[in-house]
Amino acid sequence: MIFYHPQQFLHETSVTRPVHATMRGHEHLYQDSELPLSLQMPPAHAFDDDKLKEECGVFGVVGVADAANFVALGLHALQHRGQEAGGIVSHHPVEGFNSARRFGYVRDNFTKASLMETLPGPLAIGHVRYSTAGSKGAAIRDVQPFFGEFSMGGAAIAHNGNITNADALRRELIERGSIFQSGSDSECIIHLMARSLQRNIPERMEDALRRVEGAFSVVAMTRTKLIGVRDPLGVRPLVLGKIGDGWALSSETCALDIIGAEFVREIKPGEMVVITENGVQSHFPFRLQESRFCIFEHVYFSRPDSIIGGQSVYETRRQIGVELARENPVEADLVCPVPDSGTPAAIGYAHESGIPFGMGIVRNQYMGRTFIEPTEQIRNMGVRLKLNVNRALIKGKRVILVDDSVVRGTTSRKIKEMILDAGAAEVHFRIASPPTAWPCFYGVDTPQREKLLAATMTEDEMCAHLNVDSLKFISLDGLYRAVGEAKGRDNACPQYCDACFSGEYPVAPSDMIQKGFEVKAAE
Query: Any idea which residues carry the catalytic annotation?
Result: 56
Residue 322: its H or E element: helix 313-327
- DSSP letters of 58-104? EEEEESSTTHHHHHHHHHHHTGGG--SEEEEEEEETTTEEEEEEEES
Residues 427, 420: contact at Cβ < 8 Å? Answer: yes
Four-residue CA torsion sign, 199, 272, 190, 124:
positive
User: For 361, which DSSP code?
Assistant: E
Residues in Cβ contact with 286 at an 8 Å cutoff, skipping those fewer than 6 apart: 209, 210, 231, 232, 270
How far apart (Å, rounded) are the C-alpha atoms in residues 198 and 193?
Answer: 9
How far apart (Å, rounded) are the C-alpha atoms in residues 202 and 220?
Answer: 9
Residues in Cβ contact with 411 at an 8 Å cutoff, skipping those fewer than 6 apart: 47, 50, 51, 382, 383
For residue 68, the one-letter residue type is A
- Edge-to-edge strands, sheet with 334-337: 334-337, 398-403, 426-431, 470-473
CA-based diameter of the chain, in Å? 72
Residues 71, 259: contact at Cβ < 8 Å? Answer: no
Residues 236, 441: contact at Cβ < 8 Å? Answer: no
Question: Helix crossing, 166-175 with 187-195: angle to 10°?
Answer: 40
Residue 464: its H or E element: helix 459-466
For residue 211, count other CB atoms closer than 10 A to its CB: 17
Residue 32: its H or E element: none
